[in-house]
Structures are given as C-alpha cells and as structure tokens.
C-alpha cells in the first residue's frame, strides 16, 4: 500500500489554498494545477506535519472518524 502522507514541507514553495468541505475534510486548490505535488489525491485530512490524501470523500471520512 502506498503511503498517503503529504508533508506540508512540499507545499511551502507552491501557491495554494485549502477549503474545508466538511468537518475535518479539505480540498487543496493550486493556483497552477501543474504544480500540484499530490495529483492522485482529491481529499485531505489534516495530520501532524501535513495531510493524509485520499481519492474519495468516503475514504477521507472513514480515516477522520477513526482518528
């Protein structure tokens, strides 16, 4: 299984904004989509030092609820 940890350090040099779509679940929007270091993930849950990325809202919600 691929590690889905997305460290904040990879976002320092990139212009982006986050929007909370429901409690604990975020989407990251990049000013330049080609600068996205995590293109395989659409939904994110904030964790220490970064985010956990998920391809579906259902996966992100399940992770958030178990944590």
Q: How far apart are CA 45 and CA 51, in angstroms?
A: 5
Cβ atoms of 60 and 43 closer than 8 Å: yes
Which residues have a Cβ under 8 Å from the Cβ of 55 and sit 6 or more positions away?
Answer: 40, 41, 42, 43
> Could you list the residue range(s) of the whole structural domain that residue 21 is in?
5-66
For the stretch 11-31, pLDDT in tens is 888 899 999 999 999 999 999
The token pair at 5 is 């940890």
Overall number of domains in the chain: 1
The token pair at 4 is 């889905």
For the stretch 28-47, pLDDT in tens is 999 998 999 999 999 999 99
Q: How far apart are CA 67 and CA 54, in angstroms?
A: 15
- Rounded to two decimals, the pTM is 0.89
Residue with tokens 């659409």: 42
């Amino acid at each position: 299984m691929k590690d889905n940890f997305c460290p904040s350090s990879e976002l320092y040099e990139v212009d982006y904004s986050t929007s909370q779509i429901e409690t604990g679940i975020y989407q990251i929007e990049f000013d330049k989509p080609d600068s996205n270091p995590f293109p395989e993930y659409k939904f994110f849950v904030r964790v220490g030092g970064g985010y956990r990325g998920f391809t579906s809202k259902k996966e992100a919600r399940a992770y958030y609820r178990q944590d």
